[in-house]
Structure 1
Amino acid sequence: MAFFTHHTEKVLSRCNENRLLALDVLRGITITAMVLVNNPGSWSHIYAPLKHAQWHGLTPTDLIFPFFVFMMGISIGIVIQRAKSFPIQHTKIWVRTLKLFGLGLFLFLFYINFQQAEFSWLEDRLYKIRFMGVLQRLALVYIITYYIAFYTNLKAQKIILIGILIGYWAINAFVPYYDGAGNKFVGELAFGNSLPAWLDNIVIGSQHLYYKNAQPFAFDPEGLLSTIPAVASAITGILVANVLNNAKLEKLNKVKTLATYGVGMLFIGYLMSVIVPINKQLWTSSFVLVTSAWACIMLAGLIWLLDIKGYKKWSAPFVVFGVNAIGFFVFSGVLARILLMIPVGNTSLKGHLYHQYFSQIISPTFGSFLFAFSFCCICYLVFYKLYQKQIIFKV
């Protein structure tokens, strides 16, 4: 207990007073959840809350990505006034965007299957590179949202948000599209059969998409058209930043305002879901509202718990991950791929570790979760050392 207290005090003592602690903690909780979800010991043994919804619907795991987009919007909203005073910032924004996009491509390309003699990195990775992905979507949303925040006021941002939500629903509901045989579709929101899927298949091509074999259209869950409503998720973050930037509001009033926003979006989102299903892979308008609502409510709760009540010690591990979220994401991705690439007998090092040491602990599912937790702990040791040296990976 004394060690934990000493450790947390060391972490919190290094916190930058100019940063919003609750935002770093929320970011840390979110990236930790993402790494847990992405690194089970076995994909055949996963607890239900750590799975994505099969199609329509929402699980805790489905909140992770939109939380990141929401927090990106908050970060943009917090610094945008300073950015308006220094137009040279535009160059930095483009460099940051290209770095994010490039890191996403790098994570796809960083893989060689040493267990298959016929594997060709050129044929199987480079020539079939997946152009879209988590970091690529963050990059596109970042650059678009930045310019929206830079060139518009609060009223215009609200109008753009509403316009995207209604417009995205309308084009999915009423714009017709055709398959190769000339069959006409309209208003479909099925796996492999939707306007976003049709556009991905036409513009990007099936071999460069995540769901290459989906019928009648290959598509990507981080595709082109569905990136537009992801911008709406970021704009909700900008609106929240406007509350956080308001010096006239006391912290408790900010908490109440954010909670009110969250409850309001939750009500509208679930009401809308009667017509527009909540769907992460299509990033539907109802999905935007419901996920931003939960993010808003959670941020309000963290501000109340950390800043008003002063319960901070528990948050230390999430601070370590939160201030270095991109670095953590990329490092965990590289480490996970290395564990898959190293062959051990007829399996990979990851498979060997899971089956040899984890799978029989209580149950295969618990062992799979314990593997993911152990993976996070190893990452924590690395990033705690970086945190001590104040080494922050920025893009």
Structure 2
Amino acid sequence: MEAPSAIFQKEAKAGHVPGRLASIDALRGFDMLMIAGGGQFIATLGGKTGIPLIDSVAAQFEHPAWNGFTFYDFIFPLFLFLAGTSLAFSVTGALAKGVSQTVIRNKVFKRMLILIALGILDKNAPMDIFDPAHIRYGSVLGRIGLATFISALLYMKFSTNRRLYIAAGILVMYYLTLILVPVPGFGAGDLSFEGNLVGWIDRNFMPGILKQGTYDELALLTQLPALCLTIFGTGAGDFLLEQDAAGPKLRKLFIFGLAGIVAGLAWNAVLPINKHLWSSSFIMLTSGMAFVMLATFYWLIDVKGYRKWAFFFRVIGLNSLVIYLAVRFIDFNESSRLLFGGIYKHAPENWHEVYNALGGFVLVWLFLYFLYRQKIFVKV
């Protein structure tokens, strides 16, 4: 396979700049929907309807205490994966326009610093900048920024296959590290809440406070496996950028997706699927699911042309950073209570939280729709 730089040179000569795929924005919007109130709404339905299926779906929006997996665990990995997919399009487009790799690298580096700063603000507001020992430095946005920066460097240097090999190598190395490196007081291979290597490294080397006390799932060692999701996402982006017909692209996405799911479930036999540890089995499972979901959205929206239903999600996906921070700093649920509480108070009391969560989500979407109509799209 040719190196990415050779492919970019051909693109530039042909004057071809890859266009934006509606399916990527829609899937990102679906993902942010779960973060911005959709997941909370579904979770509140548990135990309300008396319908076992709805209760089962609602249970999928609670994180397991330690080992195990629910659909809610998939939300953040999917975003990391899509960050890589979008990266493939943006870097390819920039290079096709003649932008140098140095300029791209500097831009992505600045973006990483901004996301790290916003992530620290998000996790600590109101933040006492004069007490750095009590600031939490690990964050969702910081992880996205770091993973995107490293993935961009790899993307401009290595071919698709080599990047996928690098990601697989990282996951194997991470697995071996967790089971072979002894933890003082616990020994090697301890994957318990108290005795795992991730927590020991966080307690001894991570500055500031740790979310879980004994460790922080967004701190140091887990950056490595999380990075692999974004690398896998760049691979998916490359598949979509190929000049082939839609059929071969879909086959590759589905094959990689099914292979990832099978590998993750098989690896679970020796390394439990665990979001807290970002275990290698967890990464393979969620990356496989991401490939499949991307293939499904791509087939429905960009291949079959069923776009109208996706508009609802695209409105969210086009301003993902805005809504991530908005739901942190704007109390949409309180606004829902003030606006709709006089209506839903006549419903049974155990349904109040359901209607309030629904109202909060409606306000979130209307806010994003207003930005969409005004053509305000905030990017970093």
- Give the number of aligned pairs: 349
Match for 1:25: what amino acid? A
Partner-residue secondary structure (3-state), 1:155? helix
Identity of aligned residues (%): 27
Tell me which of 147, 156, 165 is aligned to 1:150: 156
Secondary structure, aligned partner of 2:330? helix
Structure 1 runs of 4+ aligned residues shifted over 4 Å read 37-46, 82-85, 123-127, 349-363
Flag the structure with more relative contact order, 1 or 2, with Cα contacts below 8 A and sequence separation at least 6.
1
Instruction: Identify which range, 28-37 or 160-169, moves more after superposition.
Output: 28-37
1:272 matched residue in structure 2:
267
> 2:329 is matched with which residue?
334
After superposition, the C-alpha distances for 1:198-238 in whole angstroms (9 at most, x for unaligned) are 11111125x511012xxxxx111112101100111111111
Summarize the alignment of residues 72-111 of structure 1 with structure 2, pairs less than 5 Å apart. Answer: 72-84=83-95, 85-86=99-100, 87-111=102-126
CA 1:132 to 1:38, structure 2 compared with 1: closer, same or farther past 3 Å?
A: farther
Partner secondary structure for residue 177 of structure 1: coil
Given the alignment, which residue of 228, 234, 238 partners 1:232? 228
Task: Tell me the distance in 2 between the aligned counterparts of 1:362 and 1:238.
Answer: 48
Q: How do 1:182-221 residues align onto structure 2 when only pairs under 5 Å count?
A: 183-205=185-207, 208-212=209-213, 218-221=214-217
* Secondary structure of the structure 2 residue equivalent to 1:190: coil
The alpha-carbon deviation at position 322 of structure 1 amounts to: 0.5
User: Distance in 1 between the 2:167 and 2:366 partners?
Assistant: 40
Query: Closer, same or farther in 2 for the Cα pair 1:361/1:101, shift >3 Å?
Result: farther
CA-CA distance at 1:130 after TM superposition = 0.9
Other-structure match for 1:392: 377
Q: Deviations over 1:73-119 (max 9, x none)?
A: 111222333455412122211111111111111223334xxxxxxxx
**Number of the residue aligned with 2:299:** 304
Cα deviation, 1:29-51, whole Å, max 9, x if unaligned, reads: 00001122675699997931211
Cα deviation for residue 312 of structure 1 reads: 1.7
Task: Go from structure 1 to structure 2 and tell me whether the alpha carbon gap of 1:378 and 1:339 turns closer, same or farther (over 3 Å shift).
Answer: closer
Query: Retained in 2: the 8 A contact 1:108–1:125?
Result: no
Partners of 1:219 and 1:161 in 2: how far apart? 24
CA 1:98 to 1:33, structure 2 compared with 1: closer, same or farther past 3 Å?
same
- State the 1:298 CA deviation: 1.0
Per-residue Cα deviation, 1:126-179 (whole angstroms, up to 9, x for no partner): 65211001111111111111111122222321221111110000000101121x
CA offset digits 1:164-196 (Å, max 9, x no partner): 110000000101121xxxx24211111232111
8 A Cα contact 1:279 1:287, kept in partner = yes
**Alignment RMSD, CA only?**
2.9
Alignment CA distance shift 1:361-1:274 (3 Å): farther
Q: Residue 269 of structure 2: SS of its match in structure 1?
A: coil
> Residue in 1 aligned with 2:360?
375
Is the contact made by 2:39 and 2:61 (CA closer than 8 Å) also made in structure 1?
no
Distance, in Å, in 2 between the alignment partners of 1:388 and 1:76 is 26
Are 2:150 and 1:139 aligned?
Answer: no
Asked if the contact 2:43/2:61 (under 8 Å) is kept, the reply is no
Q: Deviations over 1:228-254 (max 9, x none)?
A: 00111111111111110101x211332
TM-score, normalised by the number of residues in structure 2: 0.83
Preserved CA contact (<8 Å) 1:40 1:372: yes
Change over 3 Å in CA distance of 1:307–1:43 after alignment to 2: closer
Alignment check: 8 A CA contact 2:74 2:286 kept: yes
- The alignment status of 1:169 with 2:180, answered yes or no, reads no
How many angstroms apart in 1 are the aligned matches of 2:104 and 2:219?
28
Rate the CA distance shift 1:53–1:96 in 2: closer, same or farther, 3 A: same
Unaligned runs of 5+ in 2: 1-17, 48-57
Q: 2:23 matched to which residue of 1?
A: 22
Distance 1:325 1:123, change over 3 A: closer
Paired residues of 1:49 and 1:60 also in contact (CA < 8 A):
yes
